[in-house]
Chain A
Amino acid sequence: MAIRSLSRQPSGVFWASWRDVFKFYFFLGTHSRRPKLFFLLSLVPLAMAIIFKGSQIIYGYPRFSGLFIYSNMIMMFFLQFLILLLTLFFGTSVCREEVEGKTLPYIVTRPLHKIAFLLGKYTAYTLLVSIMIIFSLTLSFIIMNLDRLGDLSLYKVLLRDGGVLLLGIWCYAALFTFLGVIFKKAIFFGLLFSFGWENIIQYFPGKTQKLAVVHYLKSLLPPLSQEGFPFLLFRLEPTPRGEAILILLGLTFFFLGLSCALFAGKEFIIEA
């Protein structure tokens, strides 16, 4: 191989690092098998929507309106299960994937800012999850409201729900990125948080429920109908919308900042 004189791009620049890491991991995310399986998982609500709508058209049952089923069941499935599961995997992947796969030496010996690496990978994976969720949400919404697609006011619901899910995805992903940086068994702690803490605390009365991220997400949605849902025993005491959005964004930046600070200063010992 001929050894050439070095002609370099402006190097080590933070934004260039972010951009190139983003492109690489977005490429990796769309070319790997695991994200494809998660994409299939994200289509579960769509399959449910098809079954509900098909049953309504053929048998006239269930009798709830399409919008009711969408808002009270499908949207809740996204909010309380799917985005948690997906962000847990992709969020913890930001750091743990490189450590477990022992590919970290390839990354940290490139001219990349460590912080830009973390943010670039976080952005790539979070965008990937966002695309999966929004795609499935939109199709589920359209299917459940096939008979009212001309009603433009309906799309405000879709926009609002999409916005809420995006806020949730970015916030949870930041939190799980943080867990991935500090814990080896991040997935375990993430599961305990997601399906233990979040699921219990949100139903506590008074200020206690404000200790759950999902509380702020639910504050952005209209109250759920209790019709046919006797298991929802506790009342949401919502935070004002503006405050909820600010808190969600604040949490996102806080956990990302913390992750960056820890990742930049931490050395990962990769066993041979």
Chain B
Amino acid sequence: MTVREKGYTHWEGELKESRWVWFPLTRLGIKMAFQKRFFKLFYFSTFLPALIFLAGIYISERLEDFRFMLRGSPAFLKITPNYFKIYLSNSLFLFILVLVMIFVGGGLIADDLRFNALQLYFARPLRKIDYVIGKMATLSFFILLLSLVPGVLFILFKLLFAGNLVFLRHYPWLPLAVVGYSLVLTLFFAAYALALSALSRNNRYASLMIFGVYFISDIIFNIFYQNFHHPYLVLLSLKLNLQQVAAGLFGLSPPYAVPWSLSLGVLLGLVFLAFVILQKRIRSVEVVK
């Protein structure tokens, strides 16, 4: 007698390997984020600063019409690389990014750990690197939409409102700075949020860690700086490191007298640490003794 069959049919299609195996994870992550209550409202409200900055660009080209609003300080609306740096690295913007990370990133790996979903993922033709890329791409989507897209649009609208390319002739490297700094922001925040999410099975706990580590670093800097006044203490603060790098990439003097490359080094070091954590924590089977 031949082997008995239970009645299911074999799939007879052609098995094709996709080069974008991580993409379903990304798509799912984005979809799940928008399914959360209040997230849509929250996320769309985070574009408010971008709209205000866009209005600023418009006004800068119509200074004569808006002189009554400026009260003698038109310098404020002079569009220079500093304007872009302010948008992309001001404390409120970075705080918003932290909140987005909490909303989207807190449970991104923690929930998979809690529900033992990693076993299911890795039972498919998906490698650890694909998993990490898939999750990072989810976070990158939200960060880039808030940083890179407005940054590029600001340049385009500046050119459109001006009706000439003078602005770009003055700062030909500006698009690169916008892209570069957006990528730094994306790499740092995505790796940071994922690593902290991977450290716990509890979404709430991971969210608090994402928030707590970011802010505690800044508070500790403030307290120490008030006492020791040493500029190198800036390396303790995640927020200030990001602001130092922003200043460096936009060709401005950093707020603290420390080479911005050091801050970049600190951030890249943290990204490396995050990948070490991800490498250790993402396993399909956990052995509990």
Asked whether the complex places CB atoms of A and B closer than 8 A, the reply is yes
Interface residues in A52-76 (C-beta closer than 8 Å to B)? 52, 55, 61-62, 64, 69, 73-74
CB pair B223 A77 closer than 8 Å:
yes
Give min CB distance, A249 to chain B, whole Å.
27
- The residue that B227 contacts in the complex, of A52, A88, A93, A185, with Cβ under 8 A, is A52
Across the interface, which residues of A come within 8 angstroms of B211, CB to CB?
85, 191, 195
CA separation between A192 and B106, bound complex, in Å? Answer: 15
Interface residues as binary, A89-125 with B (CB distance below 8 Å gives 1, 0 otherwise): 1001100100010000000000000000000000000
CB pair B204 A44 closer than 8 Å:
no
- The residue that B215 contacts in the complex, of A64, A69, A81, with Cβ under 8 A, is A81
Across the interface, which residues of A come within 8 angstroms of B207, CB to CB?
187-188, 191
CB closest residue in chain A, given B223: A73
- The residue that A81 contacts in the complex, of B103, B202, B219, B227, with Cβ under 8 A, is B219
CA separation between A41 and B224, bound complex, in Å? Answer: 17
CB pair B220 A34 closer than 8 Å:
no
CB pair B204 A92 closer than 8 Å:
yes
CA separation between A188 and B98, bound complex, in Å? Answer: 11
CA separation between A55 and B204, bound complex, in Å? Answer: 37
Interface residues as binary, B100-128 with A (CB distance below 8 Å gives 1, 0 otherwise): 00110010000000000000000000000
CB pair A64 B202 closer than 8 Å:
no
Across the interface, which residues of A come within 8 angstroms of B215, CB to CB?
81, 195
Interface residues as binary, A214-236 with B (CB distance below 8 Å gives 1, 0 otherwise): 00000000000000110000000
Known: A44-B216, A195-B215. A34 touches B205 (CB 8 A): yes
CB pair B99 A34 closer than 8 Å:
no
- The residue that B103 contacts in the complex, of A69, A77, A188, with Cβ under 8 A, is A188
- The residue that A188 contacts in the complex, of B99, B200, B223, B226, with Cβ under 8 A, is B99
Known: A64-B227, A73-B223. A188 touches B202 (CB 8 A): no
With an 8 A cutoff between CB atoms, is B203 at the interface?
yes
With an 8 A cutoff between CB atoms, is A48 at the interface?
yes
Give min CB distance, A229 to chain B, whole Å.
7
Interface residues as binary, A25-54 with B (CB distance below 8 Å gives 1, 0 otherwise): 000000000100000010010001001100
With an 8 A cutoff between CB atoms, is A241 at the interface?
no
CB pair A185 B37 closer than 8 Å:
yes
With an 8 A cutoff between CB atoms, is B38 at the interface?
yes
Give min CB distance, B228 to chain A, whole Å.
6
CB pair A184 B37 closer than 8 Å:
yes
CB pair B220 A88 closer than 8 Å:
no
Across the interface, which residues of B come within 8 angstroms of A52, CB to CB?
227
Across the interface, which residues of A come within 8 angstroms of B216, CB to CB?
41, 44, 81
- Count residues of chain B with CB under 8 A from any CB of chain A: 25
CB pair B227 A69 closer than 8 Å:
yes
CB pair B204 A187 closer than 8 Å:
yes
CB pair B226 A229 closer than 8 Å:
yes
Across the interface, which residues of B come within 8 angstroms of A85, CB to CB?
208, 211-212
Give min CB distance, B93 to chain A, whole Å.
14
CB pair A228 B204 closer than 8 Å:
no
Known: A48-B220, A191-B102. A228 touches B226 (CB 8 A): yes
Give min CB distance, B205 to chain A, whole Å.
6
CA separation between A186 and B271, bound complex, in Å? Answer: 29
Interface residues in B190-215 (C-beta closer than 8 Å to A)? 200, 202-205, 207-208, 211-212, 215
Known: A88-B208, A100-B202. A44 touches B220 (CB 8 A): yes
CB pair A188 B228 closer than 8 Å:
no
29 CB < 8 A contacts A-B: A41-B212, A41-B216, A44-B216, A44-B220, A55-B227, A61-B227, A62-B227, A62-B228, A69-B227, A73-B223, A74-B223, A77-B223, A88-B208, A89-B204, A96-B204, A100-B202, A100-B203, A184-B37, A185-B103, A186-B204, A187-B102, A187-B204, A187-B207, A188-B103, A188-B207, A191-B211, A192-B99, A195-B211, A228-B226
Chain B contact residues, CB within 8 Å of chain A? 36-38, 99, 102-103, 106, 200, 202-205, 207-208, 211-212, 215-216, 219-220, 223-224, 226-228
Chain A contact residues, CB within 8 Å of chain B? 34, 41, 44, 48, 51-52, 55, 61-62, 64, 69, 73-74, 77, 81, 85, 88-89, 92-93, 96, 100, 184-188, 191-192, 195, 228-229
Sample of 9 further A-B pairs with CB below 8 A, known A61-B228, A89-B204: A73-B223, A74-B223, A77-B223, A85-B208, A88-B208, A93-B204, A185-B38, A187-B207, A195-B215
Q: Give the top 8 A-B pairs by smallest Cβ distance, nearest first.
A: A62-B227, A187-B204, A73-B223, A187-B207, A89-B208, A85-B212, A191-B211, A228-B226
